[in-house]
Structure 1
Amino acid sequence: MLLQSLKKLSDSVLNIQHETDEEGTIREINDKIPIRGNNTWMLICSAVLASIGLDTGSGAVIIGAMLVSPLMSPILGVGLSVGINDREMLIDSIKNLALAAAAGLVVSFLYFSVTPLGEPTNELLARTTPTLLDVGVAFFGGVAGIVSISRSDKSNAIPGVAIATALMPPLCTAGFGLAVGRFDYFLGGFYLFFINAVFISLATYMIVKYLHFNTKAYVDQAKQKRVAQAMVVVLMIVVAPSVYFLYNIYSDVKTKKRIEQLVIADFTSRKNEIIKWEIQQADSLKQVKIYSVGKQVDENLVKHYNEVLAQNKLEKYRVKLVQLDVSPEEMQKIAYDITNNMTKDILKTLELQKLQVQHADSVRRQQKIELNGNATRELKMLFPEIQKVQVGDMVSTTNPAKADTITLVMIDWRPPQPVVQEVALKDKKPVKQPEAVRPKLQTAQVQEYEGRIKSYLSYKLQRDSVQVISTF
């Protein structure tokens, strides 16, 4: 009963068949397999971007190249075609994938042949020794990719899959290896690309079988068994080198920690300051190179460390001490002087930036005053009914998360004035009597003026938020 409940729960949680659009999935992958037209341009741009990113060590540029790359569709096409027994799609996918890989190699080879940099960066070196972990990334990235495409409501998982599996950068690493004559780099980069392609295709094949896509032709059980056996053999051959690389990396990390416990910790406990230490290859042996300052170290201590390493099955490692002729006090003084000078430079830079900001603020304030003054004079010329104009800024606190600055315009309109007329002469002087009173501005007319003033000041002051308030 419990097992049935767990099975029912897992089916309801993991089942994706009811959300699958089989025809749409096949159509979308098949339409994007050909590398021609727009895809060709995208491929070339992706290869150039990946090469620049690897050459400069820029992760952001490399991510951009991953997103632009059109390599994912032919790889998905391989897995899909095997899953539905579509021979034509399989041939088309392999042909376009080979064409795309060759184009990526050529473009990256040409770039690294002419670049003035061309030094192996960390981004390049990280793609020369693929491990079993990269196999996991490729497989689960492929699962996410085909599940995303197969959904009836398309999701945005494909960009994430493109970034995770990183198809173009390993291919460009292989091109770098060809350009500089380092075939170990070429083999490492191309092997990582091959791993990604194979396991994305495998993940696609498995999900297609899980979703029970209809096959184009009948496949008998014996043939299907032979295909499955062949796939297992190919996968074992592909995975074997990555297991070896992962074991080597694990062994190197384990050895380095062991040396740190046996040698470095003991050396530090003797009150000798270590600047840095590293392991270097020297013919058939490996040197544990220690750079230190402080009192002179006896050569017998180095022999003792070599014996300790040999006793712990690290006989291929030899300690080499590089004693710097600087006392700890002098080293501290050098560090203090460097830090002090850097601090002074930083303070000078900050002070200079502060003065520049103050000067810029002062210039902006002066320009604002002049601009407001010009706008005020022009308004009085355009609208004779205006008696006084005041322009200022006000910060709106309606939304505390996003404060908005509003330009507030206060306008005093002239009060109505009596209109007088000369009506008679008395003692040779004209006598003026009031004839009428100039009517007040009507509300509609004020609103029209305010709208025109708002538009004028928005253009004149380059402000979006202008509010006009009238008083009489």
Structure 2
Amino acid sequence: MEKENQKNQKTQKTKTRVSKTWNLVRNFGLKAIPIMMVRNSLFEESELTLNFLVLIISSCLIATFGLVLNSAAVIIGAMIIAPLMLPLRGLSFATLEGDWQLLRRSFVSIAVGTLLGISCSWLVGTVIGFPEFGAQVLARTQPNLIDLLVAIVAGGISGFSKIRPSLEDAVPGTAIAVALMPPLCVVGLTLSQGEWTLSQGAFLLYITNLIGINLACMIVYVFSGYAQSTELSRSLNWGFSLVLIAVLVVPLGLTFWDVLEQGRVEEPVQELINKSPLFTRKGREVSDWKIDRKKNPPEIKMAVRSTQLITPEQVKEFEDAVEIKLGKRFKVKVDVTPFIPVESPNLKAN
């Protein structure tokens, strides 16, 4: 009996310590404003208003034109005014608190903003055409684990700035970091040109950002004391977000590994190109080259301008050099464009 009482006392002490630790963490300067003030503010921000629609269309058009022009500065301007971050914070709070009214309002705003962004960019791409995608478009079609980490950190800052009104100026910065609108515009642009694979990659980046921000905001709200333990256990979105994160880790991790592998291969290949007599002799210029690792064996495709003929034997020699350098067989294809250099006649000195 005495042993059982001692065991119960130890259990009670442990629970008390855990409770004190949790209260210490929860109240360590995070909870800055009352819960109803946060809820009312998020409810107002999540409303689908004319202002929201105008900002969505404006930011979409600016981002789309920036992608067409391949201008990072123009795209950053679109990120600053994009309002999607506001209802997304409301969605996180609503799912954590079980607030169906706020959940419905924020979800509708996000859904309408998403469809409107894709539609506007698709219309622009259809009207003006987009024969070749620039670096700003292609950079948003291959998301990886780093993008997920950026979304989580930016979402945490955005959620923290909401409960700390003095930090509201941080919202534009987090909007730039996580960039919700440009991936949507890339989806529309690539769909307008029938590039389904690129569209899937850009949409995956958008979903990654949404889930990362949602999970991070929920964590901030929990540590701020806006969710009791019973509410936390009832929050389906909490577990659902973790499952989605786990699902996303697989494709994002594979893409991240592919990027690392691509970088590991590109540097030695560039070194071989710079030193190879095939491409360094006078009258030859490598204008572009890329590696297609999806082929078996992988292919190195090169665009070369040359005043002289390039023979299959010479290409084979370069293939062998690549295999020796990388320890793996690559198929080299050279697209040769013949050209004749023409100069103006030398002028005689007076």
TM-score (ref. length: structure 2): 0.77
Give runs of aligned pairs for residues 426-445 of structure 1, distance below 5 A.
none
Deviates more, 1:276-285 or 1:239-248: 276-285
> Hey, what does 1:180 align to over in structure 2?
193
Change (3 A) 1:303 1:181: closer
List per-residue Cα deviations over 1:434-460 (Å, max 9, x = no partner).
xxxxxxxxxxxxxxxxxxxxxxxxxxx
Q: Deviation of residue 46 (structure 1)?
A: 1.8
List per-residue Cα deviations over 1:34-80 (Å, max 9, x = no partner).
22222122222222222222222232332222222221112111211
> Hey, what does 1:318 align to over in structure 2?
332
Match of 1:264, as an amino acid? I
Q: Deviation of residue 265 (structure 1)?
A: 5.1
List per-residue Cα deviations over 1:326-371 (Å, max 9, x = no partner).
7xxxx8x96xx7xx9xxxxxxxxxxxxxxxxxxxxxxxxxxxxxxx
Work out whether 1:142 is the aligned partner of 2:172.
Answer: no
Match of 1:238 among 226, 232, 248: 248
Aligned 8 A contact 2:96 2:231 in 1: no
List per-residue Cα deviations over 1:270-294 (Å, max 9, x = no partner).
9736632513659755135374779
Aligned 8 A contact 1:144 1:157 in 2: yes
Partner Cα distance (1:303, 1:178) in 2: 39
Partner Cα distance (1:296, 1:178) in 2: 40
Q: Deviation of residue 96 (structure 1)?
A: 2.1
> Hey, what does 1:264 align to over in structure 2?
273
Aligned 8 A contact 2:180 2:209 in 1: yes
Match of 2:79 among 66, 71, 96: 66
Change (3 A) 1:296 1:20: same
Structure 2, unmatched stretches of 5+, are: 1-20
Match of 2:281, as an amino acid? N
Query: SS of 2:302's equivalent?
Result: strand
Deviates more, 1:293-302 or 1:149-158: 293-302
List per-residue Cα deviations over 1:399-426 (Å, max 9, x = no partner).
xxxxxxxxxxxxxxxxxxxxxxxxxxxx
> Hey, what does 1:219 align to over in structure 2?
231
Work out whether 1:279 is the aligned partner of 2:293.
Answer: no
Match of 1:110, as an amino acid? L
> Hey, what does 1:161 align to over in structure 2?
174
Q: Deviation of residue 200 (structure 1)?
A: 0.7
Aligned 8 A contact 2:187 2:200 in 1: yes
Partner Cα distance (2:118, 2:220) in 1: 30
List per-residue Cα deviations over 1:69-104 (Å, max 9, x = no partner).
221112111211222232332232222211211111
Aligned 8 A contact 2:31 2:163 in 1: no
Match of 1:30 among 15, 20, 43: 43
List per-residue Cα deviations over 1:157-180 (Å, max 9, x = no partner).
111111111111111111112211
> Hey, what does 2:264 align to over in structure 1?
254
Give runs of aligned pairs for residues 19-58 of structure 1, distance below 5 A.
19-20=32-33, 22-58=35-71
Query: SS of 1:190's equivalent?
Result: helix
> Hey, what does 1:387 align to over in structure 2?
none
Aligned 8 A contact 1:129 1:189 in 2: yes
List per-residue Cα deviations over 1:124-154 (Å, max 9, x = no partner).
2221111212112211111111111211434
Match of 2:231, as an amino acid? V
Give runs of aligned pairs for residues 65-464 of structure 1, distance below 5 A.
65-115=78-128, 119-214=132-227, 218-219=230-231, 221=233, 223=234, 228-261=238-271, 263-264=272-273, 266-267=275-276, 272=281, 275-276=285-286, 278-279=289-290, 281=292, 286-289=299-302, 291=304, 302-311=315-324, 312-318=326-332, 320=334, 322=336
> Hey, what does 2:15 align to over in structure 1?
none
Partner Cα distance (1:244, 1:72) in 2: 28
Partner Cα distance (2:188, 2:279) in 1: 49
Change (3 A) 1:152 1:164: closer
Q: Deviation of residue 302 (structure 1)?
A: 3.8
Partner Cα distance (2:203, 2:180) in 1: 10
Partner Cα distance (2:50, 2:335) in 1: 61
Partner Cα distance (1:220, 1:207) in 2: 13
Change (3 A) 1:180 1:145: same
Aligned 8 A contact 2:96 2:237 in 1: no
Greater C-alpha radius of gyration: 1
Partner Cα distance (2:102, 2:136) in 1: 35
Structure with the larger helix share: 2
Change (3 A) 1:80 1:289: same
Aligned 8 A contact 1:176 1:185 in 2: no
> Hey, what does 1:437 align to over in structure 2?
none
Change (3 A) 1:236 1:266: same
Partner Cα distance (2:130, 2:309) in 1: 41
Change (3 A) 1:205 1:254: same
Partner Cα distance (2:212, 2:242) in 1: 12
Structure with the larger strand share: 1
Q: Deviation of residue 203 (structure 1)?
A: 0.8
Match of 2:266, as an amino acid? K
Deviates more, 1:194-203 or 1:25-34: 25-34
Partner Cα distance (2:299, 2:212) in 1: 36
